[in-house]
Amino acid sequence: MKIYIDADACPQLVKTHIFRAVERRKIYLIQVANQYIRPSNSKLISSVLVGQGADVADLKIVELLEEGDLVITADIPLADLCVKKNAFALNPRGELYTEANIRQRLSVRDFMTDLRQLGVETGGPPPFSQRDGELFANALDRFLTKNT
């Protein structure tokens, strides 16, 4: 198993939890982004820099992804592609996307997009908090305990 991070929008607190987990469990981590990522001193952590453009990083993750891998992302369409490849997707707030919930999440996301295109102000998620980081760390630990 490898872990991939959709790194462009991933909160630093989440990355810190992931870095600790991969070192502790000796799991390979690949960060994928279209912006510079500071290199890691760890032999377990690598980075892939992709070109600019919508979904370029997402498509690279899907290309590299193998069955059973884990992707950290808040991007619901990317999570859907991961689930379709028999991989796992965990969002930075600790929600694991599965076959059982991804269709609903995708429908809600598409509905909200449609509302915004009609000019309705839908707001967004609340700011990422320390509590969200804790929820993520706990969810990641549960996932790794079960799947490694």
Q: What is the pLDDT of residues 41-70, one digit of tens each?
A: 999 999 999 999 888 999 999 999 999 999
Residue 3: the pLDDT is 98
Predicted structure pTM score: 0.90
Mean pLDDT of the chain: 92
How sure is the predictor about 31, in pLDDT bands with cuts at 50, 70 and 90? very high
Angle between helices 130-147 and 12-25 (to 10 degrees): 30
* CA separation for the pair 70, 83 (Å, rounded): 10
Structurally, at CATH architecture level, domain 2-99+128-147 sits in 3-Layer(aba) Sandwich (3.40)
What distances in angstroms separate CA 59 from CA 17, 46, 91, 106, 126, one per listed residue? 25, 17, 17, 17, 27
Beta bridge partners of 28: 2
DSSP 148: -
pLDDT beyond 90 at 142: yes
**Looking at residue 108, what is its pLDDT?**
75
Runs of H (alpha helix) within 26-129: 56-64, 76-84, 102-117
End-to-end CA distance of the chain: 8
State how far the Cα of 31 lies from the Cα of 27, in Å rounded to an integer: 13
The pLDDT assigned to 106 comes to: 81
